[in-house]
Amino acid sequence: MDGDRGTLGGAVTSFLREARDVRGLSEQTVRAYRGDLEDLLRFADARGIDSVGAVTLKVLREGMLLAESPPLLRVRRGGASSSSMSSRCVRIGSFACPHGQ
């Protein structure tokens, strides 16, 4: 997940560093963000998306819909609960629109 901030991986790395160092989020919270964003990176990579500018609302929605089924989410049998999917949407949304934009 290293690299230039213009790359998706670089943006994720910067976001996680800011979440920990600037916003002071707990290690557990940062771990949850990391897991969700790594899923997003895998989804984007499988579609040839490697720049921040190429991540559209449509891409995020497709990724969220597909993440509900294994192996992307790594959930127990039966899929994710609505509360865990809601939390996941908040975390991905925080990355996609970091300042409420």
Among 8, 100, 88, 91, which Cα is nearest to 48's? Answer: 8
Q: What is the pLDDT of residue 97?
A: 65
Mean pLDDT of all residues in 22-36 = 92
Burial string for 43-77 (b: 16+ CB within 10 Å, else e) reads bbeeeebbebeebeeebbeebbeebeeeebbebee
Q: Which domain holds residue 72?
A: 8-96
Instruction: For residue 61, tell me if it sits in a domain.
Output: yes
Instruction: For residue 1, tell me if it sits in a domain.
Output: no
Q: Which two tokens stand for residue 61?
A: 């929605």
| Domains contained in the chain, number | 1
- Cβ–Cβ contacts within 10 Å for residue 91, how many? 19
> Taking each helix axis from N to C terminus, what angle separates 57-67 and 27-46, rounded to the nearest 10 degrees?
110
Q: What is the pLDDT of residue 76?
A: 43
Instruction: For residue 3, tell me if it sits in a domain.
Output: no
Kindly report, residue by residue over 35-94, the tens digit of the pLDDT: 888 988 999 999 999 898 898 888 888 887 776 655 544 444 445 555 566 776 777 777
Higher pLDDT, 24 or 70: 24
Instruction: For residue 45, tell me if it sits in a domain.
Output: yes
